[in-house]
Structures are given as C-alpha cells and as structure tokens.
Amino acid sequence: MKRTDGYGTGGGMGYNADGKPTADGGDARAKRAEELRRLIERHDRLYYIENRPEISDREYDELYAELKRLEEEDPSLIVPDSPTQRVGAKLSGKDAVRSEPHRSPMLSLDNTYSEGELREFDARVRRFLGLGSGEKIEYAVEMKIDGAAVSLWYERGLLVKGLTRGDGENGENITHNLRTIRDVPLRLRPEGGAAVPEFLEVRGEVYMPRAEFERLLCKQEEEGEAPFANPRNAAAGTLKQLDPKIVASRRLRMFVHTPGERSGARWRTHLEFLEGMASLGLRVNPHRRLCKDIGKVIETIAEWDDIRRSLDYDTDGCVVKVNDFQMQEALGFTAKAPRFAIAYKYKAEEARTRIIAIDVQVGKTGVLTPVARLEPVFLAGTTIENASLHNEDEIRRKDIRIGDIVYISKAGEIIPQVVRVEKGERTGAEREFRMPDRCPACGGRIERREGEVARRCVNQRCPGRYRARILYFASRHCMDIQGLGPALIDRLISEGLLRDPADLYSLKADAIESLEFEGEDKLKRRLGRKNADKLIAAIEESKSRGLARVLAALNIPHVGERKAELLAERFGGMDALRKASAEDLMKVESIGEVVARSVLDFFADPGEAALVDRLAAAGVCMRSSAKPAAPIADGSNPFAGKTFVLTGTLSGYTREQAEALIRERGGRCTGSVSSKTDFVLAGKEPGSKLDKAKKLGIRIVGEAEFEEMLGKRKGETTDS
C-alpha cells in the first residue's frame, strides 16, 4: 500500500510507487527502520510513561507493522532494542533461568508500624549524623508498591540484563521477561538535555494491576488452574515463566525507585534521581513528595492512606528516605538494611466472621467453584457475604470447615478471600466440606482433568453453565446490560424465558413485568412495568456495543477483552472473522496457534454458530465500530461532541470506566490538553495537565460535577 503521510514509501525513501525497493533502497530501508523505531519508542513513552498518547491505536499498529515488515524483508535491520524484539522465543531446558550475582546487594528495608517508630527513626538518623533537634533533615516519601523487586542493567543506554532480588546477593536472570514490559525501555532515550550514563543499574518493583489480576484470577478458575493468592504473587509467578509470550499477555507494569551501581551519572538527592529517571524514559511513581521534616512525613503517610485504595495497584505502605545522597552515604548500611531508609507499613484490613455454608457455583465453562457463605461483615468499604474458596485443594490446604471462625481480606482489595482459620476456637460442631459427586445445577457427570485442580461439569447444556454465561454476556465489560442481575436471570431461567444470551433479545415487557424475584436485600419484589421497560430499553441499547464487545461476551476460550478488540479491528465484521483461516488469525498481534484454534473450534460448533446467527438476526451490531450514543435532541447532553482530558485519580471510577462513560454519551477522550479541549476531569493528585488547563482557561470538572453530568444524562435517557 502506498503511503501518503510522509512516513511510508515514496521515491525519496528508496521505494517506487508500488512500494517496491529501488536500487538505493538499502540505505533508505535502514533510515526508515531507525525512524520507525524512534517513533514507536516515543509513542510508547507517551502512552505508558507519561499517560498522554498523541496517536490512535490503529496509527500505532501501522507504524509497528511497517517496521516488522521491513525487518522481515531484511533481517540485517534488526537491532536488539527494536520494539519488535520485546517478546522473544520460549526458553528451553538448556536456556532455563539461571542465578547470577548482583553488582551490589539488594537489601530489604526495616519496617515500622507507628508514628512513634517513625520519630525514633528520625532520632536515630540525627544521632548518627550528629545533628541537633533544631537542624532540618529533608525526607523523600514514596508509595511502597507491593510487587516483585527487580534490577535493570543498562550499558551505554541499552538494556543488557534484568535480575530478580533473589536472596539479595544473587538473583535470577529474567531479562527475557522484563523486556516484554512496556514500562521498561529497551534503550534509554534522554529528554531535556539529560545524559545517558555509561553504566546504570536501577531497581524497582514489577506489579500486576488490580484489573489484570481480577481477569487472570477468573481465567485461572475457569481453566482449572490453581489461582494466585494476590497480585504480588501473580507478578512474581509471571516473571518466572519460560515463555515471554505468557508474560506479555499479563500486562505487567513497573516503577523504578532506587539507584544501584552507576558510572557517568551523579545526582544530589533521591528526588533528583527520580526526575532523572523520568527524563531517561523510565517510569517512576507519581506519588512521591519532599517532606521538610518527620512531621510532614507523618502527615503525608496519613493522607495517602485515604487514596491508596483507589489506585490500580497494591501498596502496603510508604518508603521514607533521607533525601540527600551525601547524608545517605554517611549513614551507610547495617548487615541487612540501609540506615537512611525505612518502610512504614499500613495495617492490613481484615475482618472476622463465620462460615455458615459452602455452596458450589457452576461457571460458564463448567468449572465448579466452592464459595463460602459468610455472616455479613463490613470490610474496606463494602459488606461482604461471600468469599471464593477457589477449589477443593485450597480448602484442604487451609483446612476450612463449615462453621469455622475465619479472617477475610480482599485479594488486591477486589476479591474477598479467607486469609486464615481460627482453629483454636473450634467447638467440634464444624463440618468438613466435600465437593459433590454430581453437578449441583444439572446432576450431570463431573470430571477432573489431568494436571488441573478444578472439577467441571461435562454437560454442555448445563443450566448452571448458561446461567453463568448469560451473566457474563450481560456484564459491564461485555454487553453492559444494566438492571440484569443474578436474581432476575435466575427467575427468567426458571420461567423458561432464558436459555442462552440470544433469548435476551426476544424478551417483552408484557411477559416479564409480573415476575417476582428476590433482591439483594433478600426481600421478594415484583419487577413492575417501569422496571420491565427500563430492562428492555437496556437490552435494546446493548445491540450497538460493536463487534469487540460481542466477541468478548461470546466467551470464546482464550479470547478476552484485548484479543476481542484486536480481532474486531483486524477483520471489521463477524462474517469476515468466521471465514478466516488459522493463518489469517495468526497474523493478528498476540494471536497464536492456541487462540486461533479456539476461535475456529468455536465457530465450527453448530450450537455456537447458531447462537451468533440468532444474535445477528436480533439486530446485534456485528461490525467493529458501533454507532455512538445519539446526542439528546434538545442539546442538553453535556458530553455530546465534547473533548475530555482526564488527570489524577478518581475515587468512584477507574480511568477506563470514566472514559467509557464519556464515549458512550457522544464525547471523546484525548491524552493531552490543548485549545481544543472542552473539559478536564480532575481527580486526586492531578498532574501538569491541570496547570495547563488553567492557563488555557479550560473548564475544570471535579468528580462530583462529573457525576451530576452523568446523572442528568441518565435521567433523560430513562425518561425517554
């Protein structure tokens, strides 16, 4: 394809009008490949590090595809830091992960749990430095990320090695996996006049975002795998994988927080070091602050305790460091930890309750999951009545019994789980739990496949499976049918009105308004005409979600939200996707043989093919771009045609949720503030975007006003 944007083929670049190389094409290819690498690196930095993308995903993919094509046509153009080389081949036995020494020990930090202990730390620092109580010591405070500690080595700006912490003296070489993390630049590219050190070792924390952990946990349970206990374990376990493709698929992130060995680089303070890392393209945590004394440190720690639960990663405390590097050097180290730093740990939130029953749920793939029914208890802002026990092996390992007093927490502050059992309080009335021999939903046969921890119902038409499937189909990340909860789905199934997702689109208000079902408050209520009309309207609205959401909702094995988006973008429509061969599918980014076979098998299944046909016949949009929400006729929709920029952390929404709400109402979201921006939605800890918006006179919207805008739109939609 001939490019006309100045970035593709053309006579000046050594190509003719058909895109074929001319005689001088070799030099032009090399020049173009280097230009593409720089462009992709720049846009990676804008997207992953600075959170202000300038181009669309499609434009980015075009740049990447062009570079990949050039390198495939001429392998001599491939360089180690090319963006195409992030994900390497799976390691074999002879290449297995090996242990290597750190250049200097990776020590842990001493911990503290109270304000008094923080003041004692300040007093120790002063005594060691010979400072009086009236002399100031500045401290740098950062969020403490609950992830996996790693070390990155750069030689003349090129990433050459990555190690785990290991035992502090030696770590495992996991360079092949760290290269897949988009926050980790393969080559340091300085901005603002920064110089690239001759050698630079930086240390940081690799973590799994909470939304990704939730997605992975659901996938593990559905596929019968032993689930990770928390995001920290998930990150650490992922980094041990031999196949970098698996690591890349789990979307790990990383923050740099500490310098290691270096030459050709000097910084006066710790915060200056962090700014220097940001200028080199490394990601540093935005929650960092200079505190003039220990009192300000204590105030900051208390302030951040209120906002940390709204972040997309786990943090179990704050790290406090003497900011001045000369003072750090004078303070030195003990045998186990630095004297100039300490970790303040927040108290873990747990709640005590009793297990009153253990039920078994049937998932959309037939996997049976035991769920603890609890005496209601308030934890981390919500009342908890249920906790997943994952599988029978997990129940045996923790020796969980019906009637036990237990402590629960939230894995990743998302999913309730049993932390421990108070065995000393057992009375003898507690009962051991055993998984059923037959499916609790249909009475069908159960099997446990070799190598799996889960049991599953083998009946493809099990009502428990299609209940879970309809719930998933209607969920927020799929077709987003508001008002269609588990209790109502159960009632519709029991009335014979629902057997699969396509049945949703044949429901009529007249047939469902008289249904009675049990709400979340355990009270029975009649649906009523008004709610029936709202539900039918929500189902009708879901038809316009577009191909990507439909593909995600269909529950094709191994096809989640991201792969659904990639397939929708590549094929454009359901008909083209159904006609695709395995080779066609594997040309799509991150689609390998396993996923391609899963897609082919899905459409080859007569039942699934019929389901897709029925959805299409019902008017569900099967194209890659659904029609956007129509503006309100009287012009009162505050979102229609408006451009929003988001900055800071919202307490009630993730960034993705807020952007989706704006787009659904006819607005658009961009990553940077300009004169064309209409609104800046500002949460807690806003960045430089807020300052720029103020200078340009752009309207600033807080979360409360944003919700008022949403409420006005929702009300008008409902009334119509």
Q: Which residues are catalytic?
A: 144
- Of 719, 703, 702, 700, the closest CA to residue 634 belongs to 719
Helix (H, G, I), strand (E, B) or coil at 300: helix
Could you give the count of Cα atoms lying within 13 Å of 335 in the half-sphere of its Cβ? 0
Q: What's the CA gap between 412 and 232, in Å, rounded?
A: 9
Cα torsion at 654, 659, 665, 667 (round to 10°)?
Answer: 150
555 contacts 473 by C-beta, under 8 angstroms: yes
Q: Which residues contact 418 (CB under 8 A, 6 or more apart)?
A: 355, 372, 387, 389, 398, 400, 406, 407, 408
- Give one DSSP letter per residue of 654-717, joined into a string: -HHHHHHHHHHTT-EEESS--TT--EEEE-BS--HHHHHHHHHTPEEE-HHHHHHHHHHHHHHH
Number of H helices, E strands in the chain: 24, 26
205 contacts 145 by C-beta, under 8 angstroms: yes
Cβ-based neighbour number of residue 17 at 10 Å:
9
- Of 410, 248, 177, 418, the closest CA to residue 314 belongs to 410
* Cα dist from 277 to 36, 270, 342, 686, whole Å: 24, 11, 22, 20
Q: Positive or negative CA dihedral for 182, 183, 187, 191? A: positive
Task: Name beta bridge partners: 172.
Answer: 99
- Of 397, 393, 389, the closest CA to residue 451 belongs to 393
257 contacts 320 by C-beta, under 8 angstroms: no
Q: What's the CA gap between 79 and 187, in Å, rounded?
A: 11
The residue type of 164 is: T
* Unique residue bearing structure tokens 């630079």: 200
